[in-house]
Protein backbone atom coordinates (compact mmCIF):
# COMPACT_ATOMS: atom_id res chain seq x y z
CA UNK A 1 0.00 0.00 0.00
CA UNK A 2 1.04 3.61 0.13
CA UNK A 3 4.08 4.43 2.25
CA UNK A 4 4.43 8.17 2.92
CA UNK A 5 6.61 10.22 5.22
CA UNK A 6 4.94 12.40 7.87
CA UNK A 7 6.17 15.74 9.21
CA UNK A 8 4.93 16.88 12.60
CA UNK A 9 3.75 20.48 12.47
CA UNK A 10 2.26 23.03 14.80
CA UNK A 11 -1.06 22.59 13.03
CA UNK A 12 -1.50 19.34 14.96
CA UNK A 13 -2.64 21.17 18.06
CA UNK A 14 -5.37 22.96 16.19
CA UNK A 15 -7.00 19.67 15.33
CA UNK A 16 -8.01 19.13 18.92
CA UNK A 17 -6.82 15.54 18.94
CA UNK A 18 -4.58 14.11 21.63
CA UNK A 19 -1.44 12.63 20.11
CA UNK A 20 -0.03 10.44 22.84
CA UNK A 21 3.65 9.59 22.65
CA UNK A 22 5.25 6.55 24.21
CA UNK A 23 5.67 6.97 27.93
CA UNK A 24 3.46 10.10 28.06
CA UNK A 25 0.01 8.58 28.52
CA UNK A 26 -2.23 10.69 30.72
CA UNK A 27 -3.87 9.02 33.74
CA UNK A 28 -7.33 7.68 33.06
CA UNK A 29 -10.39 9.36 34.49
CA UNK A 30 -12.35 7.27 36.99
CA UNK A 31 -14.72 4.98 35.12
CA UNK A 32 -13.20 5.88 31.75
CA UNK A 33 -11.12 3.55 29.58
CA UNK A 34 -8.63 5.26 27.29
CA UNK A 35 -7.72 3.26 24.21
CA UNK A 36 -4.31 3.75 22.66
CA UNK A 37 -4.42 3.66 18.85
CA UNK A 38 -1.33 3.79 16.65
CA UNK A 39 -2.05 4.49 12.98
CA UNK A 40 -0.06 4.97 9.80
CA UNK A 41 0.12 8.25 7.94
CA UNK A 42 -1.24 8.03 4.39
CA UNK A 43 -0.90 11.67 3.39
CA UNK A 44 0.99 11.72 0.11
CA UNK A 45 2.13 15.31 0.67
CA UNK A 46 3.13 15.01 4.32
CA UNK A 47 0.07 17.02 5.32
CA UNK A 48 -2.65 16.65 7.92
CA UNK A 49 -5.28 14.49 6.20
CA UNK A 50 -4.63 11.34 8.24
CA UNK A 51 -4.74 13.28 11.50
CA UNK A 52 -7.94 15.01 10.44
CA UNK A 53 -9.54 11.70 9.54
CA UNK A 54 -8.82 10.16 12.94
CA UNK A 55 -9.69 13.37 14.78
CA UNK A 56 -13.12 13.33 13.17
CA UNK A 57 -13.65 9.63 13.94
CA UNK A 58 -12.60 10.02 17.56
CA UNK A 59 -14.64 13.17 18.12
CA UNK A 60 -17.84 11.55 16.90
CA UNK A 61 -17.15 8.33 18.78
CA UNK A 62 -16.40 9.98 22.12
CA UNK A 63 -19.50 12.14 21.87
CA UNK A 64 -21.68 9.01 21.99
CA UNK A 65 -19.51 6.76 24.21
CA UNK A 66 -18.82 8.66 27.43
CA UNK A 67 -16.90 5.80 29.05
CA UNK A 68 -14.31 5.43 26.29
CA UNK A 69 -11.65 7.82 25.08
CA UNK A 70 -9.23 7.23 22.22
CA UNK A 71 -5.71 8.63 22.02
CA UNK A 72 -4.27 8.45 18.50
CA UNK A 73 -0.58 8.38 17.63
CA UNK A 74 0.22 8.89 13.95
CA UNK A 75 3.48 7.45 12.64
CA UNK A 76 5.04 7.51 9.14
CA UNK A 77 4.87 4.33 7.11
CA UNK A 78 8.64 4.13 7.23
CA UNK A 79 8.55 3.39 10.97
CA UNK A 80 5.02 2.53 12.14
CA UNK A 81 5.46 -1.26 12.10
CA UNK A 82 8.75 -0.98 13.99
CA UNK A 83 7.24 1.44 16.53
CA UNK A 84 4.38 -0.92 17.33
CA UNK A 85 6.76 -3.88 17.64
CA UNK A 86 8.91 -1.92 20.09
CA UNK A 87 5.88 -0.88 22.14
CA UNK A 88 4.58 -4.45 22.37
CA UNK A 89 7.99 -5.81 23.32
CA UNK A 90 8.33 -3.16 26.06
CA UNK A 91 4.95 -4.10 27.54
CA UNK A 92 3.44 -0.78 26.42
CA UNK A 93 1.57 -2.05 23.40
CA UNK A 94 -1.36 -0.16 21.91
CA UNK A 95 -4.90 -1.37 22.18
CA UNK A 96 -5.37 -0.90 18.43
CA UNK A 97 -2.79 -0.72 15.66
CA UNK A 98 -3.38 0.21 12.04
CA UNK A 99 -0.25 -1.05 10.31
CA UNK A 100 1.02 -3.20 7.46
CA UNK A 101 1.20 -6.70 8.97
CA UNK A 102 -0.55 -8.75 11.63
CA UNK A 103 0.74 -12.32 11.19
CA UNK A 104 3.49 -12.39 13.84
CA UNK A 105 1.20 -10.93 16.51
CA UNK A 106 -1.55 -13.42 15.69
CA UNK A 107 0.89 -16.33 15.82
CA UNK A 108 2.07 -15.17 19.26
CA UNK A 109 -1.55 -15.00 20.53
CA UNK A 110 -1.33 -11.25 21.09
CA UNK A 111 -4.45 -10.30 19.11
CA UNK A 112 -8.17 -10.55 19.61
CA UNK A 113 -9.91 -12.34 16.78
CA UNK A 114 -12.58 -10.72 14.64
CA UNK A 115 -15.10 -12.91 16.48
CA UNK A 116 -13.93 -11.40 19.75
CA UNK A 117 -14.40 -7.82 18.58
CA UNK A 118 -16.95 -7.38 15.81
CA UNK A 119 -20.67 -7.85 15.46
CA UNK A 120 -21.81 -10.41 12.91
CA UNK A 121 -23.08 -7.77 10.43
CA UNK A 122 -19.77 -5.90 10.52
CA UNK A 123 -17.62 -9.01 10.26
CA UNK A 124 -19.65 -10.49 7.40
CA UNK A 125 -19.43 -7.25 5.41
CA UNK A 126 -15.71 -7.51 4.56
CA UNK A 127 -14.84 -8.47 1.00
CA UNK A 128 -14.05 -12.18 0.78
CA UNK A 129 -10.43 -12.00 -0.47
CA UNK A 130 -9.59 -9.63 2.39
CA UNK A 131 -11.15 -11.97 4.93
CA UNK A 132 -9.10 -14.86 3.55
CA UNK A 133 -5.90 -12.84 3.73
CA UNK A 134 -6.70 -11.81 7.32
CA UNK A 135 -7.06 -15.37 8.58
CA UNK A 136 -4.50 -17.50 10.33
CA UNK A 137 -5.32 -21.15 11.04
CA UNK A 138 -8.89 -20.48 9.95
CA UNK A 139 -9.41 -17.58 12.37
CA UNK A 140 -9.52 -13.94 11.29
CA UNK A 141 -7.19 -11.65 13.23
CA UNK A 142 -6.29 -9.07 10.59
CA UNK A 143 -9.13 -6.66 9.91
CA UNK A 144 -8.73 -5.02 6.49
CA UNK A 145 -8.49 -1.25 6.72
CA UNK A 146 -7.51 -0.13 3.23
CA UNK A 147 -7.25 -2.01 -0.04
CA UNK A 148 -6.15 -1.63 -3.62
CA UNK A 149 -5.57 -3.62 -6.77
CA UNK A 150 -3.70 -3.10 -10.02
CA UNK A 151 -4.54 -2.41 -13.67
CA UNK A 152 -2.49 -1.94 -16.81
CA UNK A 153 -2.03 1.80 -17.38
CA UNK A 154 -1.13 3.17 -20.81
CA UNK A 155 -0.50 6.58 -22.31
CA UNK A 156 -3.17 7.17 -24.98
CA UNK A 157 -1.10 9.84 -26.72
CA UNK A 158 1.85 7.47 -27.16
CA UNK A 159 -0.46 4.67 -28.30
CA UNK A 160 -1.98 6.90 -30.98
CA UNK A 161 1.44 8.03 -32.21
CA UNK A 162 2.63 4.41 -32.36
CA UNK A 163 -0.45 3.30 -34.29
CA UNK A 164 -1.73 1.00 -31.55
CA UNK A 165 -5.48 0.74 -32.09
CA UNK A 166 -6.43 -0.90 -28.78
CA UNK A 167 -4.80 -1.88 -25.48
CA UNK A 168 -3.27 -5.36 -25.34
CA UNK A 169 -5.40 -8.29 -24.23
CA UNK A 170 -2.63 -10.89 -23.92
CA UNK A 171 1.12 -11.03 -23.55
CA UNK A 172 1.76 -11.35 -27.27
CA UNK A 173 -0.18 -8.15 -27.94
CA UNK A 174 1.60 -6.46 -25.03
CA UNK A 175 4.97 -7.27 -26.55
CA UNK A 176 3.82 -6.01 -29.96
CA UNK A 177 2.58 -2.77 -28.42
CA UNK A 178 5.87 -2.27 -26.59
CA UNK A 179 7.79 -2.78 -29.83
CA UNK A 180 5.60 -0.29 -31.68
CA UNK A 181 6.14 2.24 -28.90
CA UNK A 182 9.89 1.75 -29.14
CA UNK A 183 9.96 2.01 -32.94
CA UNK A 184 7.54 4.90 -33.44
CA UNK A 185 7.82 7.20 -30.41
CA UNK A 186 10.55 8.73 -28.31
CA UNK A 187 9.16 7.21 -25.11
CA UNK A 188 11.95 6.13 -22.73
CA UNK A 189 10.14 3.15 -21.26
CA UNK A 190 7.89 1.28 -23.72
CA UNK A 191 6.96 -0.91 -20.75
CA UNK A 192 8.22 0.07 -17.30
CA UNK A 193 9.01 -3.06 -15.26
CA UNK A 194 9.89 -2.08 -11.66
CA UNK A 195 11.55 -5.12 -10.12
CA UNK A 196 13.71 -3.06 -7.79
CA UNK A 197 13.61 -3.60 -4.03
CA UNK A 198 10.87 -1.09 -3.24
CA UNK A 199 7.91 -3.30 -4.16
CA UNK A 200 9.19 -6.07 -6.42
CA UNK A 201 7.07 -8.66 -4.61
CA UNK A 202 3.91 -7.01 -5.95
CA UNK A 203 5.08 -6.65 -9.56
CA UNK A 204 6.29 -10.25 -9.43
CA UNK A 205 2.96 -11.59 -8.24
CA UNK A 206 1.06 -9.83 -11.03
CA UNK A 207 3.09 -11.65 -13.66
CA UNK A 208 2.76 -14.96 -11.86
CA UNK A 209 -1.02 -14.64 -11.81
CA UNK A 210 -0.99 -13.68 -15.47
CA UNK A 211 0.84 -16.89 -16.26
CA UNK A 212 -1.97 -18.97 -14.78
CA UNK A 213 -0.56 -19.73 -11.34
CA UNK A 214 -2.08 -19.11 -7.92
CA UNK A 215 0.71 -16.68 -7.11
CA UNK A 216 3.14 -17.48 -4.34
CA UNK A 217 1.24 -20.29 -2.64
CA UNK A 218 -1.02 -23.18 -3.63
CA UNK A 219 -4.60 -23.52 -2.31
CA UNK A 220 -3.23 -25.42 0.68
CA UNK A 221 -0.94 -22.55 1.65
CA UNK A 222 2.41 -24.04 0.63
CA UNK A 223 4.89 -21.93 -1.30
CA UNK A 224 5.02 -22.57 -5.07
CA UNK A 225 7.45 -19.82 -6.04
CA UNK A 226 9.40 -21.94 -8.56
CA UNK A 227 6.34 -23.57 -10.16
CA UNK A 228 6.29 -24.14 -13.91
CA UNK A 229 3.83 -21.26 -14.43
CA UNK A 230 5.88 -18.82 -12.39
CA UNK A 231 9.12 -19.83 -14.07
CA UNK A 232 7.68 -19.47 -17.57
CA UNK A 233 6.37 -16.01 -16.65
CA UNK A 234 9.88 -14.77 -15.94
CA UNK A 235 11.36 -16.59 -18.90
CA UNK A 236 8.87 -14.67 -21.06
CA UNK A 237 9.64 -11.36 -19.39
CA UNK A 238 13.32 -11.85 -20.02
CA UNK A 239 13.08 -13.10 -23.62
CA UNK A 240 10.19 -10.93 -24.85
CA UNK A 241 10.47 -7.65 -22.96
CA UNK A 242 13.86 -7.20 -21.30
CA UNK A 243 16.26 -8.73 -23.83
CA UNK A 244 14.67 -6.79 -26.76
CA UNK A 245 15.21 -3.61 -24.70
CA UNK A 246 11.52 -2.81 -24.37
CA UNK A 247 11.72 -1.98 -20.65
CA UNK A 248 13.69 1.24 -20.80
CA UNK A 249 17.12 2.54 -19.88
CA UNK A 250 17.13 1.33 -16.26
CA UNK A 251 17.51 -2.39 -15.58
CA UNK A 252 14.26 -3.77 -14.07
CA UNK A 253 16.15 -4.97 -11.00
CA UNK A 254 17.29 -1.37 -10.38
CA UNK A 255 13.98 0.33 -11.18
CA UNK A 256 11.75 1.05 -8.19
CA UNK A 257 8.01 1.63 -8.38
CA UNK A 258 8.36 5.24 -7.23
CA UNK A 259 10.69 6.09 -10.11
CA UNK A 260 8.55 4.19 -12.63
CA UNK A 261 5.42 6.03 -11.51
CA UNK A 262 7.20 9.38 -11.65
CA UNK A 263 8.35 8.62 -15.19
CA UNK A 264 4.77 7.81 -16.17
CA UNK A 265 3.52 11.16 -14.90
CA UNK A 266 6.28 12.86 -16.94
CA UNK A 267 5.05 11.13 -20.09
CA UNK A 268 8.17 8.95 -20.36
CA UNK A 269 6.36 5.58 -20.07
CA UNK A 270 4.12 3.86 -22.59
CA UNK A 271 2.71 1.16 -20.29
CA UNK A 272 3.06 -0.09 -16.72
CA UNK A 273 1.04 -1.72 -13.96
CA UNK A 274 -0.53 1.00 -11.81
CA UNK A 275 -2.83 1.60 -8.86
CA UNK A 276 -5.45 4.28 -8.04
CA UNK A 277 -3.02 6.80 -6.55
CA UNK A 278 -1.01 6.89 -9.76
CA UNK A 279 -4.24 7.48 -11.69
CA UNK A 280 -4.88 10.78 -9.93
CA UNK A 281 -1.24 11.87 -10.19
CA UNK A 282 -1.12 11.09 -13.91
CA UNK A 283 -4.36 12.87 -14.68
CA UNK A 284 -3.23 15.90 -12.68
CA UNK A 285 -0.06 15.96 -14.80
CA UNK A 286 -2.12 16.04 -17.99
CA UNK A 287 -1.46 12.44 -19.05
CA UNK A 288 -4.11 10.99 -21.34
CA UNK A 289 -4.53 7.85 -19.26
CA UNK A 290 -6.01 4.56 -20.35
CA UNK A 291 -6.45 1.59 -18.04
CA UNK A 292 -7.53 -2.00 -18.57
CA UNK A 293 -7.28 -5.35 -16.87
CA UNK A 294 -3.68 -6.47 -16.95
CA UNK A 295 -3.46 -9.05 -19.76
CA UNK A 296 -2.46 -12.62 -19.04
CA UNK A 297 -0.51 -15.02 -21.21
CA UNK A 298 -3.56 -16.04 -23.22
CA UNK A 299 -6.07 -13.37 -22.28
CA UNK A 300 -7.72 -12.38 -19.05
CA UNK A 301 -5.53 -13.56 -16.13
CA UNK A 302 -6.65 -16.11 -13.59
CA UNK A 303 -6.94 -13.35 -10.99
CA UNK A 304 -5.80 -9.82 -10.23
CA UNK A 305 -3.45 -9.05 -7.37
CA UNK A 306 -4.99 -7.29 -4.40
CA UNK A 307 -3.23 -5.61 -1.48
CA UNK A 308 -4.41 -4.49 1.93
CA UNK A 309 -3.32 -2.76 5.12
CA UNK A 310 -4.64 -3.96 8.45
CA UNK A 311 -6.07 -2.87 11.76
CA UNK A 312 -6.02 -5.12 14.81
CA UNK A 313 -6.88 -5.25 18.48
CA UNK A 314 -4.24 -6.25 21.04
CA UNK A 315 -4.97 -8.31 24.15
CA UNK A 316 -2.18 -6.74 26.21
CA UNK A 317 -4.33 -4.25 28.10
CA UNK A 318 -7.48 -6.35 28.32
CA UNK A 319 -9.80 -3.82 26.68
CA UNK A 320 -11.71 -6.26 24.50
CA UNK A 321 -15.16 -4.69 24.94
CA UNK A 322 -13.97 -1.13 24.39
CA UNK A 323 -11.85 -2.05 21.35
CA UNK A 324 -14.79 -3.88 19.84
CA UNK A 325 -17.11 -0.94 20.44
CA UNK A 326 -14.73 1.42 18.67
CA UNK A 327 -14.03 -0.89 15.71
CA UNK A 328 -17.70 -1.62 15.12
CA UNK A 329 -18.16 2.14 14.79
CA UNK A 330 -15.08 2.55 12.61
CA UNK A 331 -16.38 0.17 9.95
CA UNK A 332 -19.56 2.08 9.10
CA UNK A 333 -19.96 2.89 5.40
CA UNK A 334 -19.47 6.59 6.11
CA UNK A 335 -16.08 6.07 7.74
CA UNK A 336 -14.84 3.44 5.29
CA UNK A 337 -15.81 5.55 2.28
CA UNK A 338 -14.29 8.70 3.74
CA UNK A 339 -10.89 7.09 4.19
CA UNK A 340 -10.88 5.35 0.80
CA UNK A 341 -11.90 8.47 -1.10
CA UNK A 342 -9.42 10.66 0.75
CA UNK A 343 -6.48 8.39 -0.08
CA UNK A 344 -7.32 7.05 -3.56
CA UNK A 345 -7.87 3.59 -2.11
CA UNK A 346 -10.70 1.07 -2.27
CA UNK A 347 -13.28 0.31 0.42
CA UNK A 348 -12.79 -2.93 2.31
CA UNK A 349 -16.48 -3.70 2.84
CA UNK A 350 -19.17 -4.92 0.47
CA UNK A 351 -21.68 -2.15 1.18
CA UNK A 352 -19.11 0.66 0.97
CA UNK A 353 -17.77 -0.77 -2.30
CA UNK A 354 -21.26 -0.88 -3.74
CA UNK A 355 -21.86 2.71 -2.64
CA UNK A 356 -18.64 3.91 -4.25
CA UNK A 357 -19.43 2.04 -7.48
CA UNK A 358 -22.80 3.81 -7.70
CA UNK A 359 -21.35 7.27 -7.03
CA UNK A 360 -20.59 9.15 -10.28
CA UNK A 361 -17.74 10.97 -8.48
CA UNK A 362 -15.82 7.68 -8.37
CA UNK A 363 -16.50 6.47 -11.90
CA UNK A 364 -12.77 6.38 -12.62
CA UNK A 365 -12.37 3.67 -9.97
CA UNK A 366 -14.90 1.31 -11.54
CA UNK A 367 -12.34 -1.09 -13.02
CA UNK A 368 -10.45 -1.30 -9.71
CA UNK A 369 -13.65 -1.89 -7.76
CA UNK A 370 -14.70 -4.62 -10.18
CA UNK A 371 -11.44 -6.52 -9.73
CA UNK A 372 -10.97 -6.37 -5.95
CA UNK A 373 -13.67 -8.93 -5.00
CA UNK A 374 -11.97 -11.49 -7.25
CA UNK A 375 -8.40 -10.65 -6.38
CA UNK A 376 -5.67 -12.74 -4.76
CA UNK A 377 -3.51 -11.23 -2.05
CA UNK A 378 0.07 -12.14 -1.14
CA UNK A 379 0.32 -14.69 1.70
CA UNK A 380 0.40 -12.06 4.44
CA UNK A 381 -1.06 -14.57 6.92
CA UNK A 382 2.22 -16.50 6.97
CA UNK A 383 4.80 -15.44 9.53
CA UNK A 384 7.48 -16.40 7.01
CA UNK A 385 6.17 -13.94 4.43
CA UNK A 386 8.24 -11.01 5.67
CA UNK A 387 11.45 -12.97 5.06
CA UNK A 388 10.25 -14.34 1.72
CA UNK A 389 9.05 -10.94 0.53
CA UNK A 390 12.43 -9.41 1.30
CA UNK A 391 14.17 -12.22 -0.56
CA UNK A 392 12.02 -11.52 -3.60
CA UNK A 393 12.69 -7.78 -3.42
CA UNK A 394 16.44 -8.27 -3.34
CA UNK A 395 16.80 -11.03 -5.93
CA UNK A 396 13.96 -11.26 -8.46
CA UNK A 397 15.56 -8.65 -10.72
CA UNK A 398 18.42 -11.10 -11.30
CA UNK A 399 16.00 -13.39 -13.15
CA UNK A 400 15.75 -11.00 -16.09
CA UNK A 401 19.20 -9.39 -16.16
CA UNK A 402 21.63 -10.20 -19.00
CA UNK A 403 22.82 -13.75 -18.51
CA UNK A 404 20.24 -14.32 -15.80
CA UNK A 405 18.54 -17.66 -15.36
CA UNK A 406 14.91 -17.30 -14.25
CA UNK A 407 14.60 -20.90 -13.13
CA UNK A 408 17.70 -20.77 -10.95
CA UNK A 409 16.68 -17.46 -9.38
CA UNK A 410 13.18 -18.70 -8.54
CA UNK A 411 14.54 -21.96 -7.19
CA UNK A 412 16.89 -20.01 -4.93
CA UNK A 413 14.05 -17.88 -3.59
CA UNK A 414 11.91 -20.99 -3.17
CA UNK A 415 14.64 -22.63 -1.08
CA UNK A 416 14.77 -19.60 1.22
CA UNK A 417 10.98 -19.74 1.48
CA UNK A 418 11.09 -23.41 2.49
CA UNK A 419 13.65 -22.62 5.18
CA UNK A 420 11.62 -19.69 6.48
CA UNK A 421 8.41 -21.72 6.46
CA UNK A 422 10.11 -24.38 8.57
CA UNK A 423 10.56 -21.79 11.32
CA UNK A 424 6.86 -20.84 11.44
Structurally, at CATH architecture level, domain 11-148+307-374 sits in 3-Layer(aba) Sandwich (3.40)
Judge whether 225 and 410 are in contact, CB under 8 Å. Answer: yes
Beta bridge partners, 70, equal 35
CA distance 281 to 186: 22
pLDDT in tens, 43-55: 866 679 999 999 9
- Angstrom CA distances, 335 to 265, 350, 383, stand at 30, 14, 30
**Mean pLDDT lowest among 26-35, 122-131, 133-142, 407-416:** 26-35
Give yes or no for a contact between 233 and 208, defined as CB atoms under 8 angstroms apart.
yes
Tell me what pLDDT residue 12 has: 36
**Whole-Å CA distances, 254 to 150, 198, 407:** 21, 10, 20
Q: Is the pLDDT of residue 200 over 60?
A: yes
- Which residues lie below 8 Å from residue 106, measured CB to CB, with a gap of 6+? 136, 139, 141, 142, 312, 381
Q: Is the pLDDT reported for residue 14 higher than 60?
A: no
**pLDDT per position as a tens digit, 262-271:** 999 999 999 9
Please state the domain extents for the chain: 11-148+307-374, 151-303+384-421
CA 406, 1, 219, 207 dihedral sign is negative
Which residues neighbour 278 within 8 Å (Cβ) at sequence distance 6 or greater? 153, 261, 264, 265
φ and ψ at 414, to 5 degrees?
-60, -35
DSSP state of 294: P
Flag whether pLDDT at 22 surpasses 50. no
Q: Over the stretch 326-383, which tens digit does the pLDDT of each residue have?
A: 999 999 999 999 999 999 899 999 999 999 999 999 999 999 999 999 899 999 999 9
pLDDT value, residue 45: 67
3-state DSSP assignment of residue 23:
coil
- Mean pLDDT over each residue of the chain, to the nearest integer: 92
What CATH fold (topology level) applies to the domain 151-303+384-421? D-Maltodextrin-Binding Protein; domain 2 (3.40.190)
Calpha distance 308→40 (Å, rounded): 13
Q: Do domains 11-148+307-374 and 151-303+384-421 have the same CATH topology?
A: yes
| Alpha helices (H) in 49-138, listed in sequence order | 49-64, 80-89, 103-107, 114-117, 120-123, 128-133
Whole-model pTM over 0.85: yes
Q: Say if CB 260 and CB 189 are below 8 A apart.
A: yes
Q: What angle do helix axes 406-421 and 228-236 make, rounded to 10 degrees?
A: 140
Q: Is pLDDT of 109 > 60?
A: yes
Amino acid sequence: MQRHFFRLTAATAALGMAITLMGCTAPEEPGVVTLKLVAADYDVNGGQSSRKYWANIVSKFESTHSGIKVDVQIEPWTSVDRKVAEMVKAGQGPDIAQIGAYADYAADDKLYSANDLLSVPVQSNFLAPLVDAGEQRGVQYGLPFAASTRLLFYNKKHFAKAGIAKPPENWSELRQAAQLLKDNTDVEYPFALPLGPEEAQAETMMWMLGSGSDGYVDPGGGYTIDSHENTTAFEWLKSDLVDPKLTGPVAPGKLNRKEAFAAFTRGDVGMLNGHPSLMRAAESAGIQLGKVIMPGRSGRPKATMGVADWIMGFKQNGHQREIGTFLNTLFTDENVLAFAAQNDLLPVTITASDAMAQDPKHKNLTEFLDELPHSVLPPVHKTSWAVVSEEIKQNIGNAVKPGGNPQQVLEGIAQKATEAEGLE
